[in-house]
Amino acid sequence: MLQITSSIKSTIERALVEDLGHGDITTDSLIPSDIRGLATVLAKATGVIAGLDVALEVFHQVDPSLETRVFMADGSDVTLGDVVAEVEGSIASILKGERVALNFLQRLSGIATATSMYVRAVAGTRARIVDTRKTVPGLRELEKYAVRVGGGHNHRYNLADGILIKDNHIAALRAQELGMEDIIRRARENAPHTLRIEVEVETVDEAREAMEARADTILLDNMSTEKMRQAVTLVQGRCLLEASGGINLETVRAVAETGVDLISVGALTHSVSALDISLDMK
């Protein structure tokens, strides 16, 4: 169950301000505020549901008198026609919250659904599916929650959450004639001791450098599966190995079978398809 934090409440408030503006002219012109009704939230495709508490919070912010009931928990598998939830009360209030509630629910369910497909694809291997920071601005907390609902794991939440020395960091420091050992030593000296150090590499030789410099995790960026296997053999469990770069559902199994520990997939959040979910008035 998702805890509706103050930041999530603020995100919902901004979404409602964006959508309602100065009011729902159509509904206000047609539907008297005292007419009551019942609306059902229906799955119209197969997938994994996520974001129910967010959707219900939308309706509660629009009108605290609305009554909501859920029939499934986040993480449940849904198929066409499944009734996910109900909203009862002022029809005008329900209509005003409909679009924003569905926007959250459809997107988060889409992320959970995509993540579950990747997780199933690597089942039986040691690899974990992890997300990235390629999230919609302002929605990271919710989108990373949806990844967890789908069975995946979270990478860094933000730039303060861990040290990831990427290619541009390395290029800038190599221009100052610093080697990999110097770069990692500088990170250890200047960052909190509790943070792990991850280094992005593009070749097996760079992976060797990073390993010998005692990186905690090595990110294998855009490597072939053969090069990944070589890196796994080289490292022999002395640090974690993460695969990243252009990995999709067709290739993720082969990547997992190389023996890497983590597979990061930006597509879980940056280009996911929303799960088709509707709200129907009774």
Please, are residues 252 and 118 in contact by the beta-carbon 8 Å criterion? yes
Domains of the chain, earliest start first: 6-117+273-281 (3.90.1170.20), 120-270 (3.20.20.70)
**What's the average model confidence in pLDDT over 60-75?**
97
pLDDT > 80? residue 1? no
CB atoms within 10 A of CB 76: 18
For 39, the 3-state DSSP assignment is: strand
Secondary structure percentages of the chain, helix, strand, coil, to 5? 45, 20, 40
Confidence at residue 174, expressed as pLDDT on a 0 to 100 scale? 87
Question: Is this prediction's pTM over 0.85?
Answer: yes
State what percent of residues in the chain have pLDDT above 90. 93
**What's the average model confidence in pLDDT over 70-88?**
97
Confidence at residue 226, expressed as pLDDT on a 0 to 100 scale? 98
Confidence at residue 64, expressed as pLDDT on a 0 to 100 scale? 97
Confidence at residue 241, expressed as pLDDT on a 0 to 100 scale? 98
115-140 pLDDT tens trace: 999 999 999 999 999 999 999 999 99
182-199 pLDDT tens trace: 999 999 999 898 899 999
Distance of CA 138 to CAs 7, 62, 80, 142, 190, Å? 10, 20, 30, 9, 29
* Distance separating alpha carbons of residues 143 and 109, to the nearest angstrom: 10
Q: Is the dihedral of CA 232, 235, 236, 238 positive or negative?
A: negative
**What's the average model confidence in pLDDT over 38-53?**
98
**What's the average model confidence in pLDDT over 229-233?**
98
The catalytic residue positions are: 99, 134, 166, 200, 221
* Distance separating alpha carbons of residues 36 and 206, to the nearest angstrom: 66
pLDDT > 90? residue 282? no
